[in-house]
Amino acid sequence: MQLNKREAKRIIDKLQIEHRNKKHNYGFLKYNNKKILPVYFSHGKGDMPGNVPDKFRQSLKVNMGDFEDLKNCPLSRDGYIKILKSKGLIDKE
C-alpha cells in the first residue's frame, strides 16, 4: 500500500482530526465533543515509508476498501462516523 504524506493530510483534514502541534505524534478524532480515536501524524514530505501506511489505516479502524474510499474521496466524515458506529467505537444515538 502506498500513501504520501499529502494524501494522509487530506484524510486527516477531511475527518477533522485535531492535532495539538507538529511536535506531537498523535491527534484525535472527535465526535460530539468526545475524543474517540488516536491517529498518528507523519510529518514531513514524500511517501510514508514501508508498512507505515497500513499502520495509519489500522489506526483509523477501516478496512482496505474503506481506506481507498477515504483516500479517493467518496467516503465523507459522516460515512466514516457511520462505520465507527457500526463497529461500536461510537455510541449510537
Residues within the interface to another protein (CB under 8 A): 20, 24-26, 28, 31, 33-38, 40, 49-52, 55, 58-59, 88-91
17's grid cell:
482530526
Contact predicate 29/35, CB 8 Å? yes
| Closer CB to another protein, 35 or 74, in the complex | 35
| Closer CB to another protein, 21 or 72, in the complex | 21
* Helical residues (DSSP H) of the chain, grouped into ranges: 5-14, 52-59, 64-71, 77-86
| Closer CB to another protein, 55 or 74, in the complex | 55
